[in-house]
């Protein structure tokens, strides 16, 4: 059995050269090789192309490299979690490329597998498809994406043996497993290095053949940024909770369900283990339970896609981001409940960008909108200025075409029945006249008495 060299942080970051393509594992700060990133920030290495789901947080992880001006271009799916990354991109100080989260994960997996690229329905008809080859396959428009490889990959594992076999903790697989296959030099930052044989073969997530170097580094709560602990105190309006309660009625025992951020997050608070609903989070977990009540954070618990520590219900499972989005695109998620900015008469959805506002990230929205069997949108009926969100044609950048099945607002419930936007219910306190006056889209009325 080979022995993988164990080196220092300083020796590791010296392997990264000016102009390199650097892959960095992690989802937020969970499973993030933060010690390697911080050591690299102490060097003069520059003009890097940084590839990761997001660029850490402000001043943490990749955020340190960005603050130092070491990153020339960033490629990822959700930069919004780091305001400094958004500002740098919008001011033209750093080049950037946005990819849907599942597309990013699959592109890295393809690059690691020696596959040139692939076609995916995710992002078809949206801004992110512009300039890319498209093809209709089995009647569905699909977008071509090239595989991604890097010069160096920094990954974070919980344990390694001296042969380089890696095992990850809970939701820390995320982007790490794919990235460990997709670079010329793979450096694994690990909590513990043990002799060969101490990791059972069936517990190896990344075989040692992919790993070139090991670095031992101990994780602390300070390394986890906003996921370090849970603050469960939040006030929720009655109208928002009514939307969450109505969405809950659509979920049945045994359904695999993914909940987006915003109003959909409230649905998670209403789900009980007895209900038999299987919660999916796109960073790699099935069987998501409620937020821990003991104040524990990401050192103790798995983390969901909102970067919030959660519990694991009996029967839960962990996997990486590429497998997670294969579940989504393969239509193994029964229902996705997402927030929305606009929905139009043709069931098109816009929910990821507002021109001029500091939003720079699509995350998993495009994958879920096009891949879930049923898509439910929860949103306020109007914007703060009173303008409608249910419109004849979406004006904001599109997330997915003809994808929405149901809309739940604070005023009404709509369904697309035979392709027709149809009003089916009024929410508590709402009147038909109010719904008519605040909806600019044409709709059919089929209210039950």
Q: What is the pLDDT of residues 59-84, one digit of tens each?
A: 999 999 999 999 999 999 999 889 99
Percent of the chain with pLDDT over 90: 84
**294-320 pLDDT, tens digit each:** 888 888 999 998 888 999 999 999 999
**105-152 pLDDT, tens digit each:** 999 999 999 999 999 999 999 999 999 999 999 999 999 999 999 999
Query: Could you tell me the end-to-end alpha-carbon distance of the chain, in angstroms, rounded to an integer?
Result: 73
Per the listing, tokens 């095992």 go with 167
Q: In what order do the strands lie in the sheet with 117-120?
A: 117-120, 140-146, 134-137
What are phi and psi for residue 153, nearest 5 degrees? -120, 130
Tell me how far the alpha carbon of residue 227 is from its chain's centroid: 15
| 232 pLDDT above the threshold of 80 | no
| 222 pLDDT above the threshold of 90 | no
Residue 208 in tokens: 């040692």
The mean of the pLDDT values for the chain is 94
Let me know: does 343 contact 413? Beta carbons within 8 Å.
no
**170-211 pLDDT, tens digit each:** 999 999 999 999 999 999 999 999 999 999 999 999 999 999
Closest CA to 32 of 67, 72, 64: 64
Q: What is the mean pLDDT of residues 251-266?
A: 91
Largest CA distance in the chain: 75
Give bridge partners of residue 74 from the DSSP assignment: 50, 96
**344-374 pLDDT, tens digit each:** 999 999 999 887 776 678 999 999 999 999 9
Residues contacting residue 139 through CB under 8 Å, at least 6 positions apart: none
Let me know: does 230 contact 196? Beta carbons within 8 Å.
no
* pTM tops 0.85, yes or no: yes
Give bridge partners of residue 64 from the DSSP assignment: none
pLDDT recorded at residue 359: 66
Q: What is the mean pLDDT of residues 212-226?
A: 91
**Model confidence band, residue 449 (pLDDT cutoffs 50, 70, 90):** low
What are phi and psi for residue 73, nearest 5 degrees? -145, 140
- How far apart are the C-alpha atoms of 405 and 402, rounded to whole Å? 9
Ordered domains of the chain (ranges, CATH): 9-219 (3.40.1080.10), 238-445 (3.40.1080.10)
Closest CA to 30 of 210, 297, 367: 297
CA-based radius of gyration for the chain: 22
Residue 301 in tokens: 């618990």
- How far apart are the C-alpha atoms of 159 and 392, rounded to whole Å? 54
- How far apart are the C-alpha atoms of 4 and 316, rounded to whole Å? 33
Residues contacting residue 177 through CB under 8 Å, at least 6 positions apart: 168, 205, 206, 320, 322
Active-site amino acid positions? 282
Q: Please, where are the H alpha helices in 338-388?
A: 365-371
Closest CA to 178 of 74, 104, 237: 104
pLDDT recorded at residue 6: 98
Residues contacting residue 274 through CB under 8 Å, at least 6 positions apart: none
What are phi and psi for residue 230, nearest 5 degrees? -110, 130
Closest CA to 395 of 443, 442, 348: 348
- How far apart are the C-alpha atoms of 306 and 398, rounded to whole Å? 22
| 229 pLDDT above the threshold of 70 | no
Closest CA to 9 of 151, 156, 112, 170: 156
- Tell me the C-alpha to C-alpha distance, in Å, between residue 129 and each of 119, 145, 366: 11, 9, 11
């Amino acid at each position: 059995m080979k022995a993988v060299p164990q080196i220092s942080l300083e020796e590791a970051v010296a392997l990264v050269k000016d102009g390199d393509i650097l892959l960095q594992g992690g989802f937020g700060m969970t499973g993030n090789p933060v010690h390697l990133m911080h050591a690299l920030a102490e060097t003069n290495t520059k003009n890097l192309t940084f590839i990761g789901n997001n660029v850490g947080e402000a001043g943490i992880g990749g955020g340190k490299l960005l603050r130092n001006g070491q990153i020339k271009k960033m490629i990822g799916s959700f930069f919004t979690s780091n305001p400094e990354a958004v500002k740098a991109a919008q001011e033209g100080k750093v080049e950037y490329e946005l990819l849907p989260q599942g597309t990013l994960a699959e592109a890295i997996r393809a690059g690691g597998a020696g596959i040139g690229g692939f076609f995916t329905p995710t992002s078809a008809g949206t801004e992110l498809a512009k300039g890319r080859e498209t093809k209709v396959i089995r009647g569905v428009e699909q977008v071509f994406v090239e595989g991604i490889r890097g010069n160096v990959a920094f990954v974070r594992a919980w344990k390694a043996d001296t042969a380089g076999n890696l095992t990850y903790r809970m939701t820390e697989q995320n982007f790490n497993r794919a990235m460990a296959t997709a670079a010329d030099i793979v450096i694994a930052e690990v909590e513990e290095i043990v002799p060969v044989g101490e990791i059972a073969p069936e517990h190896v997530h990344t075989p040692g053949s992919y790993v070139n170097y090991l670095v031992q580094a101990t994780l602390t709560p300070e390394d986890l940024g906003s996921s370090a602990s849970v603050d469960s105190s939040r006030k929720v309006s009655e109208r928002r909770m009514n939307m969450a309660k109505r969405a809950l009625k659509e979920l049945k025992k045994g359904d695999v369900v993914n909940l987006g951020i915003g109003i959909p997050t409230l649905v998670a608070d209403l789900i009980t283990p007895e209900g038999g609903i299987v919660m999916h989070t796109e960073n790699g977990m099935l069987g998501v339970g409620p937020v821990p009540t003991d104040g524990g954070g990401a050192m103790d618990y798995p983390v969901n896609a909102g970067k919030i520590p959660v519990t694991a219900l009996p029967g839960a499972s962990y996997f990486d981001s590429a497998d997670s989005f294969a579940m989504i695109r393969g239509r193994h998620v029964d229902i996705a409940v997402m927030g929305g900015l606009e929905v139009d008469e043709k069931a098109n959805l816009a929910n990821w960008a507002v021109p001029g506002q500091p939003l720079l990230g699509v995350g998993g929205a495009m994958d879920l909108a096009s891949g879930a069997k049923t898509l439910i949108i929860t949103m306020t009926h109007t914007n703060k200025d009173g303008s409608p969100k249910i419109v004849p044609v979406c004006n904001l950048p599109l997330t997915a075409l003809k994808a929405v099945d149901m809309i739940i607002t604070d005023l009404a419930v709509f369904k697309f029945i035979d392709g027709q936007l149809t009003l089916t219910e009024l929410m508590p306190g709402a009147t038909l006249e109010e719904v008519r006056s605040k909806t600019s889209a044409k709709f059919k009325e089929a209210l039950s008495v």
